[in-house]
């Protein structure tokens, strides 16, 4: 793990969690938690500085090793509470906490 991002990421709502590299000089993956309004978190794993070259989504926790690691790092820092509720309620990608609360009413 490194403490400096390798790739350009310009979302002002993202909190950098760390970069994982496997082989020196072969790149790495930057991990973020994005909390635009602190009602739901999303994990972002950036593979390069290209705008389209990332993976994200709460539903990938447990199936994608990088998203899962981002989740673990965010939890360790106390930055991710919404995922627990979303997972417990059985919701997948495409819904945030506001959507869930709206459906519960």
Q: What is the pLDDT of residues 70-97, one digit of tens each?
A: 988 988 888 765 544 444 444 445 444 4
Please give the Cα distance from 85 to 19 (Å, whole number). Answer: 26
pLDDT on residue 30: 94
| Residue boundaries of the structural domains of the chain | 14-104
CB burial of residue 67 (10 Å; 0-12, 13-18, 19+): buried
Give Cα separations from 90 to 38, 59, 75, 85, 94 (angstroms): 20, 10, 19, 9, 12
Rounded to an integer, the average pLDDT of 51-57 is 89
Residue 34 banded pLDDT, cuts 50, 70, 90: confident
Residue 17 banded pLDDT, cuts 50, 70, 90: very high
Q: Does 52 score more than 50 pLDDT? A: yes
Question: DSSP class of residue 42?
Answer: E
Whether the pTM exceeds 0.75: the reply is no
Q: Does 4 score more than 80 pLDDT? A: yes
Please give the Cα distance from 12 to 34 (Å, whole number). Answer: 9
């Amino acid at each position: 793990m490194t403490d400096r991002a390798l790739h350009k990421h310009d979302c002002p709502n993202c909190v950098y969690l760390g970069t994982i590299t496997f082989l020196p000089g072969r790149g790495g993956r930057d991990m973020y938690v994005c909390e635009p309004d602190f009602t739901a978190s999303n994990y972002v794993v950036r593979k390069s500085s290209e705008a389209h070259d990332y993976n994200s989504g709460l539903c990938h926790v447990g199936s994608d090793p990088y998203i899962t690691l981002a989740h673990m790092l965010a939890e360790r820092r106390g930055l991710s509470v919404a995922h627990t509720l979303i997972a417990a309620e059985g919701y997948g990608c495409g819904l945030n906490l506001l959507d869930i609360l709206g459906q519960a009413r």
